[in-house]
Structure 1
Amino acid sequence: MSPTHGTFSETNSAEVVSARHAACTNPRLAEVMSALIRHLHDFAKEVHLSQDEWGLAVDFLTRTGQICSGQRQEFILLSDVLGVSMLVDAINNRRPEGATENTVFGPFHVADAPERQMGDNICLDGKGESCLFEGRVLDLEGQPIQGATVDVWSDNADGFYDVQQLGIQPPGNNRGVFVTGADGRYAFIGIKPVSYPIPDDGPVGQMLAQLGRHPYRPAHMHYLVTAPGFQRLVTHTFVGGDSYLTSDAVFGVKASLVAPYTRLHDQPTQWHAPFDFVLAPL
């Protein structure tokens, strides 16, 4: 008897289930589903999964879906804290040596951030320690890229993004889009970012607590850098010395993205954070 019509058993469970997809006309879907079934069944066998444990898992996934809304995506949060988001990002953003590394996009980017003049202050609520962010957008040969769009965003001094505090923070607070000139330079004034917890009042936060894990992300500034003829770069610069650098709740830290934040004295800003971005060609 073929596996397609075979009798299900503990030994051949994955093979029997996958064989039922023989009529699937989408080769990639068949490949992905067969691998998912194989690994899921192997997992259940390896840990001798009990019916109560599987029921708990189904309840967890149900509650994860129920808390999702237009403003909150708990499943993305689950993917983040399990390291899956960073793994998928790494697989899909392999770059040549010398190019700036990618990291997770995060849920707080907005598509219509205001375009600002080079050197503008993006902090609109007056909170936090001021910081000058500047550097260049370069190609792999070290040549400046003209016309690169540098889209930036960060939390405020209280650890919240503007979209988390509608009506409290000014719209567009700690956000801005800058376009480089012939020298490839960008510059803006923001605040030194602060570390903050991911939303931990739902099922994912409960899971982290049960695992003895904290929900914090180290302080960082977000960047989305694009230019014609070059790969899209989604990245952060992290504040050197942050206590959560080695335990980021979403595994987003890469050593090459830890930036120097230098304390300034008798200067217009309290901090200086230089960082050059190197784009890989398409």
Structure 2
Amino acid sequence: MSQIDYFTEDRSVEAVNARMGDEVSPRLREVMASLVKHLHGFVKEVELTQEEWEVTIEFLTRTGQICDDKRQEFILLSDTLGVSMLVDAIQHRRPPGTTENTVFGPFHVDGAPVLDMGANISLDGKGETCLYEGRVQDPDGNPIEGARIDVWSDNSEGFYDVQQPGEQPEWNNRGVFITGADGRYWFTGIKPVSYPIPDDGPVGQMLGHLGRHPWRPAHMHFMLNHPNHERIVTHTFVSGDDYLTSDTVFGVKESLVVDYVLNESGETKWKAHFDFVMVPNQ
């Protein structure tokens, strides 16, 4: 028999990876072989105890049990460990000067209404009003017509409408806008507020044990789609927020921090200007 037919501590990686069948797809083989290599390397490096492994299994079990169609605790786990941002960064390497991606987050809802440019997405009338405006353009500064801009944010108390069904109006602080020939967009919302991610489950307990807080800095979500350009999923963050450099999901990028300025000559209290630069499809 081959020396890797039997499992040993020294040859654990080889023993496990040798069991994969001949018909496994090359990509699956690559991914699983690397996963086994690094997982076994971690266990060996820290010399994980049986008790610690049982705690890990129990933690993962509880993480799965709390998931439902409104809450995905595994996304929170991925986010708070920085994995979501790392995968996003690898998959969205863009030229300098174009808009950076950040995490999608768990609170997007498909089917938000398409609104006339300039509409107010705050349906409950609460919070400090803010005018959002800017342009959607290509790297050469040309306006992009027909860009679909999907926006969503929390309310003045730090909750999304899907977190408070029956309390907030449906589609509160959500909407979709389509740019015209000039590439401009503008709409009224509220100045978002900082909020904690749901921390009443296993991920929140993990953060507590690690001495970490569950807070996200205030932000407005944007998702831009156009048939001739790469999709953008991003936020704009409120400058001066207390959590910009300690976002629990690591989503802040310096280029996405926006000055919210007092709108002394307008109908809203605040104004936030941000221009989006989309990368053409290859």
TM-score by length of 1: 0.98
The Cα shift of 1:199 comes to 0.4
**Counterpart contact for 1:24–1:30, Cα < 8 Å:** no
**Counterpart contact for 1:3–1:19, Cα < 8 Å:** no
Note the alpha carbon deviations across 1:235-276, whole angstroms, 9 max, x for none.
Answer: 000000000000000000000000110023353110000000
1:214 equivalent in structure 2? 213
Note the alpha carbon deviations across 1:123-146, whole angstroms, 9 max, x for none.
Answer: 010110000000000001000000
Q: Which runs of 5+ in 1 are unaligned?
A: none
1:166 equivalent in structure 2? 165
Secondary structure of residue in 2 paired with 1:112: coil
The Cα shift of 1:26 comes to 1.1
1:200 aligns with 2:199: yes
Number of matched pairs: 281
Note the alpha carbon deviations across 1:193-226, whole angstroms, 9 max, x for none.
Answer: 0000000000000000000000000000000011
- Structure-1 separation of matches of 2:21 and 2:30: 11
Matches within 5 A, 1:12-91: 12-91=11-90
Secondary structure of residue in 1 paired with 2:167: coil
The share of aligned pairs that are identical, in percent, is: 66
**Counterpart contact for 1:122–1:174, Cα < 8 Å:** yes
2:2 equivalent in structure 1? 2
- Structure-2 separation of matches of 1:60 and 1:25: 30
The Cα shift of 1:3 comes to 5.0
Matches within 5 A, 1:127-276: 127-265=126-264, 267-276=266-275
- Structure-1 separation of matches of 2:249 and 2:128: 25
- Structure-1 separation of matches of 2:35 and 2:44: 14
Note the alpha carbon deviations across 1:121-172, whole angstroms, 9 max, x for none.
Answer: 1101011000000000000100000011111000000000011111000011
- Structure-2 separation of matches of 1:64 and 1:45: 25
- Structure-1 separation of matches of 2:202 and 2:229: 39
1:115 aligns with 2:114: yes
- Structure-1 separation of matches of 2:132 and 2:34: 45
Q: What letter is aligned with 1:66?
A: Q
Note the alpha carbon deviations across 1:49-78, whole angstroms, 9 max, x for none.
Answer: 000000000000000011111111101110
The Cα shift of 1:187 comes to 0.2
Secondary structure of residue in 1 paired with 2:229: coil
**Counterpart contact for 1:3–1:15, Cα < 8 Å:** no
Note the alpha carbon deviations across 1:30-65, whole angstroms, 9 max, x for none.
Answer: 111110000000000000100000000000000001
Secondary structure of residue in 2 paired with 1:231: strand
Secondary structure of residue in 2 paired with 1:96: coil
TM-score by length of 2: 0.98
Q: What letter is aligned with 1:50?
A: T
2:125 equivalent in structure 1? 126
- Structure-2 separation of matches of 1:3 and 1:21: 16
Task: Give the 4+ runs in structure 1 shifted more than 4 A.
Answer: none
